[in-house]
Structures are given as C-alpha cells and as structure tokens.
Amino acid sequence: EAAFAAVGPDRHTAGIVLGPDDLASAWRGEAPVLCVPSGGAFDEAATLMLAQTLSRHGLGARVAPGDALRNGLPEGERPAMICFSYLDPISLSQIRLTIRRARKAAPGVTILVGFWRERDPASLGRLRRAISADLLVTSLSDALDAALARARAGTAAPASPRLRQAAE
C-alpha cells in the first residue's frame, strides 16, 4: 500500500499493470529489474518501496545488497534494468564507479538512478552531466513511468542514453 500511495492514485501509471504479453522479451523473467540501495541509512527502505512499486505494476523486481555488482552478476542473471537508489548524498565518483560496474556486469542494460531527495535544478543538471545513467529520476512515480515505458513490448533502449527530466 505504501508503494501505491507513493506513486499517487492520480497518476496515469497508477492503474497500469502489465502482463507477460505486454512486456518486451527481456522483461518477462521472474525479476527483470535489479534494485540496489546505496549505503545510506534509509536507502534500503526506499529501494524496497521501488521494488514493490515495480512489482505491483507487473515488472518483477528484486533487491540486492549495495555491493552486489562488485564481483559481477551471478551466472545466468541478466536484468533488463538496474535501478540504483540514493536517498542520502554520496560522492559522484562512487556513483560513477557503481554505474561502471553495472555496465561491465550487464553490458547494454538500462541504468536508472533515483535521487529521491534531490529537487534543485542546478544540482540535477550537474548530476545529469556527471553520471552515465540512462535515466535519472527523483520520485517513485517517475521511476515507474520510465520502467513501464522501457518494458512495453517492442520498445528498445535508445542508441544513445537519454536522461529523463525530473518533474518540476
């Protein structure tokens, strides 16, 4: 219920639940989305809410520990999207390292980074320029919108990364 409330019943995506036939093939597995918290005190709770939100809308998601990508992914695991969750500030070099590890572990994977507390347009612009994520969001509803758009059958990741603008 907290995840539904976080997205907001007034959002168009709040009522969307995708079935297997609605999903691109890479998104049809048990958990095509890997959600990874950073090391902040409340990041795991935010990451659990993200995974719950995605799962309630038909996108299987699992939460992995923050160091899950340090040694690559387990044999045979190939998520369609990896979501990194940052509630508390962290260094840009650490974020870039984390994204590089993800791209090495799963080449071609879509990387979504959620900066849940960031609202300052100047800071968001700096983050967009500094990190190589495909998607940068600041709310669970924006994360859901982005994941649903990527997961629909027939949609592919763009050839060059695009960053989703945070809602003003």
Q: Is 89 helix (H, G, I), strand (E, B) or coil?
A: coil
2 in Cβ contact with 52 (< 8 Å): yes
Q: Supply the pTM of this predicted model.
A: 0.83
pLDDT at 17: 85
Q: How far apart are CA 158 and CA 162, in angstroms?
A: 7
Predicted confidence (pLDDT) at residue 13 exceeds the cutoff of 60: yes
Q: Are 134 and 145 in contact (CB under 8 A)?
A: no
* Band (157; pLDDT cuts 50, 70, 90): very low
Report residue 98's pLDDT band, with 50, 70 and 90 as the boundaries: very high
Statement: residue 43 has pLDDT above 70 = yes
Q: What is the CATH number of domain 18-68+77-151?
A: 3.40.50.280
Of the two residues 35 and 29, the one the predictor is more confident about is: 35
